[in-house]
């Protein structure tokens, strides 16, 4: 705690002769720093809540209208906040799109890590990876009336965040394959290169699939190839 000392003021009359000193005694005033910290914590939690609320609202609006047609006013209305609150956190739509992509990528990686910890075999772990990295984004794009606009919009505004997201997902995939490093190297491959190949193939499947059923077939084939490479038995159909 801090104690504020008394402060003495010496006002002057018109003739320059000082009035008798006026004292304001703040000696009993206590500044409780723990309360200041609590206020900061409250503000930070409120800001985090606003950010999550805005991101979720942006996902909903962009799903309906696409990137080009979505305005900051649309997002503020969807989030039920005033526009100034939105602009206090995100300077413009491009800034918001980057934050949105960062949020989606972090949530995806966290879900993969959490769910694969409960899985016992590589086949299930690959299914979980493909679900969050490929299938869910595919479903989201398919639910939008203008999927190409969303893809182009994110590529233009959030290219750096997309690259970081791919890098983080690739790191997760490498971790899933680490127990099979020796077998992978015996096949003449390097672990990072194999993870990159699997990720690239999965991403290509999302782009080229005719429908969700076709996407699942492509991912199943990719999974069987990986399992065969590392000496694991493919799951029975």
The predicted model gives 3-32 an average pLDDT of 49
Q: What is the reported pTM?
A: 0.76
Asked whether residue 111 carries a pLDDT value surpassing 50, the answer given is yes
- pLDDT bracket for residue 235 (50, 70, 90): confident
Asked whether residue 128 carries a pLDDT value surpassing 70, the answer given is yes
- CA pair distance 74, 52, nearest whole angstrom: 16
Of 24-33, 47-56, 105-114, 149-158, where does mean pLDDT reach its minimum?
Answer: 24-33
Asked whether residue 151 carries a pLDDT value surpassing 70, the answer given is yes
CATH class for the region spanning 92-230:
mainly alpha
Asked whether residue 203 carries a pLDDT value surpassing 50, the answer given is yes
- CA pair distance 168, 89, nearest whole angstrom: 25
Tell me which of 15 and 126 has the higher pLDDT.
126
Cβ proximity of 83 and 96 under 8 Å: no
- CA pair distance 93, 77, nearest whole angstrom: 14
First to last CA, the chain: 68
- CA pair distance 65, 154, nearest whole angstrom: 14
Asked whether residue 106 carries a pLDDT value surpassing 90, the answer given is yes
């Amino acid at each position: 705690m801090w104690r504020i000392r008394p402060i003495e003021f010496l006002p002057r009359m018109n003739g320059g002769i000082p009035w008798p000193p006026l004292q304001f005694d703040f000696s009993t005033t206590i500044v409780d720093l723990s309360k200041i910290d609590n206020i900061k914590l409250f503000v930070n939690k409120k800001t985090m809540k606003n950010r999550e609320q805005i991101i979720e609202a942006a996902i909903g609006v962009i799903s309906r209208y696409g990137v080009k047609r979505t305005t900051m006013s649309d997002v503020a209305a969807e989030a039920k906040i005033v526009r100034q609150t939105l602009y206090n956190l995100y300077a413009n739509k491009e800034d918001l799109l980057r934050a949105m992509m960062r949020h989606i990528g972090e949530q995806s990686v966290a879900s993969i890590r959490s769910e694969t910890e409960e899985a016992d075999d590589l086949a299930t772990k690959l299914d979980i990876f493909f679900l969050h990295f490929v299938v869910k984004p595919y479903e989201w794009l398919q639910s939008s009336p203008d999927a190409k606009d969303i893809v182009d919009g994110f590529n233009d505004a959030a290219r750096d965040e997309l690259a970081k997201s791919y890098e983080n997902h690739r790191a997760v995939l490498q971790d899933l394959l680490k127990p099979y490093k020796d077998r992978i190297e015996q096949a003449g491959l390097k672990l990072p290169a194999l993870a990159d190949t699997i990720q690239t193939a999965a991403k290509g499947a999302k782009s080229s699939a005719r429908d969700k059923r076709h996407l699942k077939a492509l991912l199943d084939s990719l999974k069987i190839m990986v399992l065969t490479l590392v000496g694991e038995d493919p799951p029975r159909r």
